[in-house]
């Protein structure tokens, strides 16, 4: 067991270099402040640790029928700011929203690719969570909804920021965000939100995500971490800016021993994967 797992989150290592993070708050993975604070901490500790040779993270739900129902509105109502000076209330609420946004963006900060495997309902905050991940797989029983307009507010924790950047159908994305209507895994694939729909439920989609994770984990950790960082930079910058950033990045990363190791493995008749060093250890 990892020391950084918590009350609402399980962490395990199902295969070499792969960490499985499972949301585990009964009955429906509804997020209150303790949960989203723990979620942020777990990802940030995975990112910062230097002992285990982690290369890929898979995120899923430990609950058999649901990924997440979203925010815990009962908890939210009990902590809402009421009364007082409007400007000061706004400052307090803004601080809370920014802290919440930072927590849910933790997978994007993680230097390792994060593959999310969802099943059952993925509502509201659940959608915010998956939109911050690198790769999204869905079970055929998954059902999505950008639910916030039904609750009287615009989604503010990541969905609307990420949705235009991670999907390929602007009209459909706007329709779903404005209407809050539930949509299926097949429609999510059509939207470009998920890259793979796996027949069945939780077990099948998690297994598929773990297989992808194993394949990615066999690659150079320097190359994989660089690819993630450059793709995120490309999303937020022009082509010219990204090419310049890439040149600077690779002027350092081309000095890695992983290049020689990958070439040696490619020329070898052995089916053994290359033996790449721990990303967080510098001694050769």
Q: For residue 262, give the CATH number of its domain.
A: 1.10.12.10
- Give CA–CA dist 67/142, Å, rounded: 8
Indicate whether 274 belongs to any domain: no
Q: Return the pLDDT at 160.
A: 96
Domain hosting 262: range is: 221-267
Q: Which of 217, 232, 252 is the last residue of a domain?
A: 217
Burial class from Cβ neighbours inside 10 Å (0-12, 13-18, 19+) for residue 270 reads: exposed
How many domains, the chain? 2
Same domain, 241 and 134: no
- CA-nearest of 165, 158, 154 to 125 is 158
Q: Which of 51-60, 233-242, 275-284 has the lowest mean pLDDT?
A: 275-284
- Give CA–CA dist 97/107, Å, rounded: 18
- Give CA–CA dist 216/214, Å, rounded: 6
Q: Are 185 and 151 in contact (CB under 8 A)?
A: no
Residue ranges with strand state E in the chain: 9-15, 18-23, 30-31, 56-61, 70-71, 114-118, 121-123, 135-139, 143-145, 183-184, 196-198
- CATH number of residue 23's parent domain: 3.90.226.10
Same domain, 116 and 150: yes
Q: Name the percent of the chain lying above pLDDT 90.
A: 80
Indicate whether 4 belongs to any domain: no
- CA-nearest of 101, 139, 97 to 122 is 139
Q: Return the pLDDT at 271.
A: 75
Same domain, 33 and 167: yes
Q: Return the pLDDT at 2.
A: 62
The mean of the pLDDT values for the chain is 93
Same domain, 164 and 247: no
> Residues 229-252: pLDDT tens digits?
999 999 999 999 999 999 999 999
Residue 38 makes CB contacts below 8 A (sequence gap 6+) with 6, 7, 8, 9
Indicate whether 284 belongs to any domain: no
Angle at 145 between CA 61 and CA 9, to 5 degrees: 20
Same domain, 89 and 193: yes
Q: Is the pLDDT score of 1 beyond 50?
A: no
Q: Name beta bridge partners: 280.
A: none
The confidence band for 135, taking pLDDT boundaries of 50, 70 and 90, is very high
- CA-nearest of 172, 147, 145, 177 to 160 is 177
> Residues 258-272: pLDDT tens digits?
999 988 888 887 777
- CA-nearest of 141, 148, 105, 106 to 124 is 148
How much is the average pLDDT of 102-127?
97
Same domain, 246 and 178: no
Residue 232 makes CB contacts below 8 A (sequence gap 6+) with 108
Same domain, 128 and 233: no
Cis peptide bond upstream of 27, omega within 30: yes
Same domain, 153 and 247: no
| 199-to-137, 159, 173, 203, 207 alpha-carbon distances in Å | 11, 25, 24, 10, 11
Same domain, 27 and 112: yes
Same domain, 41 and 176: yes
Indicate whether 1 belongs to any domain: no
Indicate whether 13 belongs to any domain: yes
């Amino acid at each position: 067991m990892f020391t950084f797992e918590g009350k609402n989150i399980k962490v395990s290592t199902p295969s070499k270099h792969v960490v499985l993070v499972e949301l585990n708050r009964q009955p429906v993975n509804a997020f209150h402040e303790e949960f989203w604070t723990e979620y942020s901490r777990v990802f940030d500790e995975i990112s910062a640790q230097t002992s285990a040779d982690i290369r890929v993270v898979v995120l899923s739900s430990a609950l058999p029928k649901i990924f997440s129902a979203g925010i815990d509105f009962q908890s939210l109502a009990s902590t809402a700011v009421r009364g007082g000076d409007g400007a000061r209330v706004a400052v307090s609420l803004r601080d809370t929203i920014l802290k919440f946004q930072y927590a849910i963006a933790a997978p994007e900060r993680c230097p390792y690719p994060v593959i999310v495997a969802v099943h059952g309902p993925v509502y509201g905050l659940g959608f915010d969570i998956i939109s911050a991940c690198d790769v999204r797989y869905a079970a055929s029983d998954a059902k999505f909804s950008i639910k916030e307009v039904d609750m009287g507010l615009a989604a503010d924790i990541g969905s609307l920021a990420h949705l235009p950047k991670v999907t390929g159908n602007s009209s459909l994305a706007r329709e779903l965000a404005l209407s809050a209507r539930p949509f299926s895994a097949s429609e999510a694939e059509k939207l470009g939100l998920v890259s793979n729909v796996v027949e069945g439920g939780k077990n099948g989609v998690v297994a598929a995500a773990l297989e992808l994770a194993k394949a990615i984990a066999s690659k150079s950790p320097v190359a994989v971490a660089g690819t993630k960082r450059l793709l995120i930079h490309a999303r937020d910058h022009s082509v010219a800016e990204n090419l310049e950033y890439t040149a600077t990045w690779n002027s350092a990363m081309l000095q890695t021993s992983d290049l020689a190791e990958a070439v040696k493995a490619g020329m070898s008749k052995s089916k053994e994967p290359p033996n790449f060093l721990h990303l967080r250890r510098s001694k050769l």
